[in-house]
Amino acid sequence: MALVSPDSVLVSPSLPSCWPRFSQPLKLGVLASGRGTNLEAIAASIQRQELHATIQVVIYNNPGAGVVDRARGLGLPSVLLNHRHYPSREALDLDIIQTLATYQANWVIMAGWMRCVTQVLIEAFPRQVLNIHPSLLPSFPGTHAVDQALAAGVKLSGCTVHHVEIQVDRGPIIIQAGVPVYPQDSVAALQARIQAQEYRIYPAAIALAALDRANLVDGKTGKRP
């Protein structure tokens, strides 16, 4: 498929023209390790009354992470769970679960969370742990995905939101967006275009995942959550 302009983007499935409303706003717990720009994009979508949700808490694992300032600017509570202080990944995940419960969050939104999660967290929130990755999965999983794409010489890259499973950057895909890769691209230039699409699709992916789960529950019980 030809990309005819620098602004062209492939989104699959299409972004919702009418955002779903739920019986109660989705209660999100955001996990972040870095600057928190996706947190800001999600919060902006909520403020625009697109994504029917509230952000209950921001959990971060790096004491110097920029997400703390973004959370503060948005008036959101933030909790440091420094992974270096835990004897195992499972122990960290147990504390994440407890923190999410304290703040009554029932969706886990990994937004630049640079830690592998365990079955402990996945089983506590079945089909409600989401992640965003800067590639068109299953291509280029893991770290340095943008570098991998440039090294491979691909003509199309992008980002993916998916349900989290135990394998890194695996799990059912919810939505993807593609961006063209140009011969003169640097890692920074390509990453910036990918991030612009991340900010578009992550709020939509959360809504689509919640709608899918609501329909599943509705089909089994006759009731919506």
pLDDT digits (tens, 9 = 90+) for 159-203: 999 999 998 888 999 999 999 999 999 999 999 999 999 999 999
- Read off the tokens for 111: 């937004």
The residues pairing with 55 across neighbouring beta strands, listed in sequence order, are: 28
H/E segment holding residue 162: strand 156-163
Least confident of 3-17, 54-68, 139-153, 188-202: 3-17
- Read off the tokens for 198: 């991340």
Q: What's the CA gap between 11 and 80, in Å, rounded?
A: 34
- Read off the tokens for 215: 């329909």
User: Exposed e or buried b for every residue in 55-84, given b needs 16+ CB within 10 A?
Assistant: bbbbbbbbeebbbbebbeebebebbebeee
Q: Look at the block and give the residue holding tokens 């959101």.
A: 76
The residues pairing with 109 across neighbouring beta strands, listed in sequence order, are: 30, 130
Q: What's the CA gap between 42 and 39, in Å, rounded?
A: 5
What pLDDT score does 1 carry? 32
Q: Is a pLDDT exceeding 70 seen at residue 5?
A: no
Q: Is a pLDDT exceeding 70 seen at residue 2?
A: no
Q: Look at the block and give the residue holding tokens 């299409």.
A: 14
Please say whether the beta carbons of 81 and 93 come within 8 A.
no
Nearest Cα to Cα of residue 30 among 63, 52, 55: 55
Question: Per-residue pLDDT tens for 97-150?
Answer: 999 999 999 999 999 999 999 999 999 999 999 999 999 999 999 999 999 999
Could you give the percent of the chain with pLDDT greater than 70? Answer: 92
Active-site positions read 133
What pLDDT score does 218 carry? 53
CATH number (3.90.226.10, 3.20.20.80, 3.40.50.300, 3.40.50.170) of 10-221 reads 3.40.50.170
Q: Is a pLDDT exceeding 70 seen at residue 211?
A: yes
Q: Compute the mean pLDDT over every residue in the chain, rounded to the nearest whole number.
A: 91
Q: What's the CA gap between 186 and 163, in Å, rounded?
A: 29
Count of CB atoms within 10 A of residue 128's CB? 20
Q: Look at the block and give the residue holding tokens 């275009």.
A: 193
> What's the average model confidence in pLDDT over 26-44?
97
- Going from N- to C-terminal start, the domains of the chain cover 10-221
Q: What's the CA gap between 189 and 135, in Å, rounded?
A: 14
What pLDDT score does 206 carry? 98
What pLDDT score does 17 carry? 81
